[in-house]
Amino acid sequence: MADTEWKPLPAGLWTLPAVFMEAGNLLLEAFMEAGVPTWKVREKTSDPLKWNMIAEGTVDSFEAAKAAALYEAETALRKP
């Protein structure tokens, strides 16, 4: 996932800063929610409009939110 790039999430729907990336069948998000850096990792389902939540959490900084999402995604992708 080293060469994947974070892209901005639409302003107005998320409080900035807000970014996402797709890695395999996963969607990673890092954003601010009520002033708290938050991250989520979701997995694609057979329904293109639905995603299964893999992991989510809050951390101390926005950069830590991106790092946590990457870590959880890498862990999920390594599972058999």
- pTM (whole model) above 0.85: yes
Amino acid 6: pLDDT = 95
**How far, in Å, CA of 59 to CA of 65, rounded?**
6
Amino acid 77: pLDDT = 81
Give the residue from 74, 69, 68 showing the smallest Cα distance to 28: 69
Amino acid 13: pLDDT = 86
Amino acid 79: pLDDT = 76
**How far, in Å, CA of 4 to CA of 57, rounded?**
21
What are the residue ranges in the chain where pLDDT is below 50?
2
Amino acid 1: pLDDT = 53
* 16 sits in which H/E element: strand 15-23
Contact 28, 40 (CB under 8 A): yes
DSSP-derived secondary structure letter, 24: T
Amino acid in the structure at residue 21: M
